[in-house]
Structure 1
Amino acid sequence: MNPVVETILSHRSIRDFEEKKLTKEQIETIIRCAQAASTSSFLQAYSIIGVTDEEKKARLAEIASNQRHVAKNGHLFVFCADLYRHRIAFEMEGEQAVKNLESTELFMVALIDAALAAQNAALAAESMGLGICYIGSLRNDLEEVSRILDLPDFVLPLFGLTVGYPAKINEQKPRLALEHIYHENGYEKDKNKYIEQLRAYNETVRSYYRKRTGGLRADTWTGQAVKTLMKNERLYVHDYIKKKGFNKI
């Protein structure tokens, strides 16, 4: 197995970091790797905010459900969908079609560009012996995150990425079976097959949690997923992304 595949397949989220900051060289390498990701139509419709100010990190940790590793890590990156520079490009080229930036298509382009860049950054960090954790809970209050980071219109914070030296490494969570994710030449819609596969996966996940917690937890994947999806979380996001200039048409 080559080292790249080995690094990918050994991924797990790290939430306990040593009190050791990343070097400037490490940060720049991670950013350059992020920039090497594929980008739709060469638009590069994302930006990355590095947060080193301890007060800002502490405030972002509060927003992110008081997760300690958001404040205590080697470095905190915030990935943003970004069409601000494209609005400037319209001005530079003497064009008036800025409204085009408000389309759902360009919103999706910016989201996908940011996600691809982030995964490159995560893989680069892990290949350097560092640990990472994505922080989606910054979306608990995007307006406050935008204020803290002084983000203009057409720049939307999507998620954080904490990076650092692992102080503790948990057992890897089991993923869905390959045949449940990969469909060949069309989507597999056999409900009975789906249920059979999910029941098998539930047992795998239940065993994982029992082992990890010494029998204190026995969650299933379907139970956990439904519990999450039953919450009416972050419903404000629909209106907020439009307020920032995205996804209007």
Structure 2
Amino acid sequence: MNETIELLKAHRSIRKYSDKPVSREIVEQVIAAAQMASTSSNVQAYSVVAVTDPERKQKLSQFSGNQAYIVECPVFLVWCADLSRLKNAAQHHFPDSESYEGATENFIVATVDAALAAQTAAIAAESLDLGIVYIGGIRNQIQQVAELLHLPELVYPVFGMCLGYPDQEPGLRPRLPQQAILHWEEYDSAEGEKQVALYDEMMSKYLRDRTGGAKDTPWSRLMAEKLTMPSRLHMKEFLQQRGFKLD
């Protein structure tokens, strides 16, 4: 095994940070690494807003379900899918032509670009002994987040990322068995279901050990509960209002 693979396999979400500051230079190094992530056709359809102001972090925390670690982390990164640059380029070079920057395909490209860059940043950060946790909760009140950060049309916040030096040592959360997600030649639904059953047992034990027996809900039950509860149903309308046609 090599050092990079060991680093990747040691990933843990960090939700408690020391008071050690993260310098602007470190943030710029992390983002420089992120910029080298794969990007579809070199469109680089993402932007990052780095937030360090305590008052602004407090508001972002409130918009995200009052997650305290947004306030406590030294730097909060908001990763945005950004098609505004592409629209500007089209208007500049082909002002008389119709452009399709808001189409569903470009929405997917921008969202994937943001995710690829963010995960590359996460790896870079962890290589510098920093810790991160992704915050999907910024989509809870996404309009307020967009207004707070002055995001233009065709830009939406995909997720946030806390960044700082860890002040905790959480254990590794077990993942699905590889046989559940790696299929050779064709998709094997039967094997997938078998592996989920095995994972349910693994996660039940993990939760019992972690909570002293207070919880042991199987993973598939947790996912079923998640999917049968409405979640952020405002997203489609928000995206359409920001210029994403999703067609």
Of 233, 236, 241, the residue aligned with 1:235 is 233
Q: Report if aligned partners of 1:90, 1:96 keep a CA contact under 8 Å in 2.
A: no
C-alpha distance in 2, partners of 1:48/1:98?
28
Alpha-carbon distance, 1:230 to partner? 1.3
Work out whether residues 171 and 212 of structure 1, in 8 Å CA contact, stay in contact via their aligned partners in 2. Answer: no
CA offsets, 1:44-103, max 9 Å, x none? 000000011111100111111111111110211000000111111123214344541011
How far apart, in 2, do the equivalents of 1:197 and 1:154 lie? 40
State the Cα distance separating 1:151 from its structure 2 match: 0.5
Distance, in Å, in 1 between the alignment partners of 2:61 and 2:105 is 32
Which residue is 1:220 aligned to? Answer: 218
TM-score, length basis structure 1: 0.96
Q: Percent identity?
A: 39
Task: State the partner residue of 2:246.
Answer: 248
**In angstroms, what is the RMSD of aligned CA positions?**
1.2
Q: Which amino acid aligns with 1:45?
A: A
Gaps of 5+ in 1: none
Q: Please give the alpha-carbon distance, in whole angstroms, between the structure 2 residues aligned to 1:95 and 1:220.
A: 56
With over 3 angstroms needed to count, the CA separation of the structure-2 counterparts of 1:158 and 1:56, relative to structure 1, is same
- Whole-angstrom CA distance in 1 between matches of 2:206 and 2:8: 20
CA contact (8 A) 2:76 2:163 kept: yes
Deviations 1:184-206 (A, max 9, x none): 1111122xx33332221111101
Supply the distance in 2 between the matched residues of 1:143 and 1:111 (Cα, whole angstroms).
17
8 Å contact from structure 2 (residues 61, 67) kept in 1: yes
Give the AA of the match of 2:3: P
Q: CA deviation at 1:14?
A: 0.6
Q: Does the CA-based 8 Å contact 1:20-1:73 persist in structure 2?
A: no
Name the residue aligned to 2:126: 126
| 1:167 equivalent in structure 2 | 167
Q: What SS class does the counterpart of residue 184 from structure 1 fall into?
A: coil
User: Which 4+ residue blocks in structure 1 deviate beyond 2 angstroms?
Assistant: 94-99, 193-196
Map 1:1-249 onto structure 2 (within 5 A).
1-97=1-97, 99-190=99-190, 193-249=191-247
Residue 207 of structure 2 aligns with an amino acid whose one-letter code is Y
Look up the SS of the partner of 1:100 in the other structure: coil
Could you tell me the TM-score, scaled by structure 2's length? 0.97
What SS class does the counterpart of residue 170 from structure 1 fall into?
A: coil
1:102 is paired with a residue whose SS is: coil
Q: State the distance in 2 between where 1:49 and 1:119 align.
A: 15
Cα distance per residue 1:116-150 (max 9 Å; x no partner): 00000000001111111000010001100000000
